[in-house]
Amino acid sequence: MALIRCEFKSQVLDLHTSMDVILPEPLPEAPDTRREYPVLFLLHGLSDDHTIWGRRTSVERYVQVLPLAVVMPAVHRSFYTDMAEGGRYWTFISEEVPRVARHFFPLSGAREHTFVAGLSMGGYGAFKLALTHPEQYAAAASLSGALDVATEVQTHADDPAWTAELRRIFGPLEALPGGRNDLRYLANELVKSGAPRPMLYQCCGTEDFLYTQNTRFRAHAASIGLEVLYEEGPGEHVWAYWDQQIQHVLDWLPLY
């Protein structure tokens, strides 16, 4: 396999940015054939970047035996959102990154070969992509995801620094519930639309500070008939847990 550090100019963000890409080895029997691989867009958390999955987990080793490419972009502290005060990171992740990655690398564009996963803020981004664009993603996985941001802004109203950052990201926080950045709203819209539903996987450690957000989203999904494969067990908001769980995600993906 190959690990490629890709530096490129984002037209959407108007800045140079980076993504790490893992590509399978060429087939020995057909080394010159350009095969289009299924692709997993693997998203980082709030304080991380495009290198973090490769530095803190063994994901490169785990995919070594799989016919799967992995694309890991950098989005900074954006919550995968077109920020009120900042870059258009939702447009970047939902439109530009898939287009650029498929231009540079032999990645399939078929829905059945396109998956997304992430941890913490990246779990939010993964579900946001799949719920907003179910026609593009066959499966999405959230590991310890920040899945109920709309309620989060109400329960942490006494933290002025965090509230100020959320306003820079999302704009007026009173408009967040029921809008395009609210995963519960997006889940409702998907169910009402009748569109094909992506496979959804959700996990969270029972000692994680985001555990309550995860149980709230799980309960909401169940209440509207949205199927989610849910796993929980002992675990905190730490890389040892995510290194374990990403193996479950890779086993769960419909690669064959």
Number of domains within the chain: 1
* Cβ neighbours of 46 (radius 10 Å): 16
Burial string for 146-183 (b: 16+ CB within 10 Å, else e) reads bbbbbbbbeeeeeeeeeeeebeebbbebeebbeeebbb
pTM given for the model: 0.96
pLDDT over threshold 80, residue 153: no
Cα 54 from Cα 135, distance rounded (Å): 29
Q: What are phi and psi of 29, to 5 degrees?
A: -80, -15
**Residue written as tokens 């959407």?**
12
Task: Supply the CATH number for residue 119's domain.
Answer: 3.40.50.1820
Q: Residue 11's closest CA among 129, 79, 103, 85?
A: 103
Q: What is the domain range of residue 58?
A: 2-252
Q: Does the pLDDT at position 28 exceed 70?
A: no
Q: Write down the mean pLDDT value for the chain.
A: 95
Q: Is the dihedral of CA 125, 126, 132, 135 positive or negative?
A: positive
**Is 235 in contact with 241 (CB distance < 8 Å)?**
yes
- The answer to whether residue 70 scores a pLDDT higher than 90 is yes
User: What confidence tier does 157 reach under pLDDT thresholds 50, 70, 90?
Assistant: low
Q: Tens digit of pLDDT for each residue in 190-220?
A: 999 999 999 999 999 999 999 999 999 999 9
